[in-house]
Amino acid sequence: MTRHPLFGLLLATFGALTLTPDALFMRWSGMGGYQMVGWRGLLMGVVMVALWAITSRRRGRDVALLGTGFGLAIVVCQYFNATLFSLGIAHAPVAVMLLAVATVPVFAAIFARLIIGEPTRRATWGTIIVVLFGITLAVFGGKGAVTLTSDALLGALAGLGVAMVLALNFVILRARPDLPIPLLIGLGAALAGVTGVVITGPAQMAEGTVWAIVVCGLIILPVSFFSLSLASRYTHASNVSLLLLLETVLGPLWVWIGVGEGPTPMMLVGGVIVVGSLAIYLWHTGRRRLGLQT
């Protein structure tokens, strides 16, 4: 199955769809930024490191790879991803945060070119432009559009930081398929979690709706990020990043269903543009790859 030309795309799609209800469960938790960092980071770290310990047949070599430049880079990327995403969601409008995260494909294309010399096809660039237009329309178009305040600007900066480290993560894992994904991502998440607990204080960690954040840390985050990271070994990093944008569109819909925050008409129009363009891109890419294989 892993040799099928569409395996990487399908795995990335599964990972992105699994991630889409993440913001809803974060809202349900009612927790602060570093409190969420603590719970999400520690739980995800425990799951990922346990998965590595159970499945790895080369633990000594994996630990050695942890000390390499690329191995440390993955740990650092996951640390800042786990930290900045929770802080951005806690302090800024979700729409602005997700719009900034939507620049992941752009950074992935740039990093792939600089680090591994992998070009990005014109069809991918075209889809990136259409998707970013749809997301911009959803966030800033029409009645109910998001206004840029100081909190919104901080959220945008946090989102851009998340986009950069996610893109770098995907590109490095594509360049170095020997890196142990669960171990590196798990350690990065756990370090972020420890930071969150220290800043929040152990006594305050139990405040809010704990079960909602536990679902994030034990299920949503490990499954989605492992799938997305593994997918980057079988398809271009820009493709994985592009499919990750499903969260930007479907995430607010989950929030609408869960807490009643209805989307504006422009959000629906923008969502149709994003999902439609991604569907066309996947269909076109699938036909192209199947044609090349035959």
∠ CA 70-18-206, nearest 5°, is: 85
Q: Are 218 and 81 in contact (CB under 8 A)?
A: no
pTM equals 0.80
Helix ranges, 102-220 (H): 104-116, 122-140, 150-175, 181-200, 210-215
Q: Are 101 and 156 in contact (CB under 8 A)?
A: no
* Residue 201, Cβ density class (10 Å: 0-12 exposed, 13-18 middle, ≥19 buried): exposed
Q: Are 86 and 80 in contact (CB under 8 A)?
A: no
**Dihedral-angle region of residue 144 (phi above 0 means left; psi in -120 to 50 means alpha; beta otherwise):** left
∠ CA 193-199-205, nearest 5°, is: 70
Closest among 38, 195, 164, 49 to 102, alpha carbons compared: 164
pLDDT tens string, the chain, 294 residues long: the values are 545 557 778 888 899 899 989 988 988 998 988 999 999 999 999 999 999 999 888 889 999 998 888 999 999 999 999 999 888 888 776 666 777 777 787 788 788 888 888 777 777 778 778 877 876 776 666 555 556 566 667 777 888 899 899 989 988 988 888 899 899 999 999 999 999 999 999 989 999 999 999 999 999 999 998 898 888 878 777 778 778 778 777 877 787 788 776 666 776 777 677 777 777 776 676 666 555 544
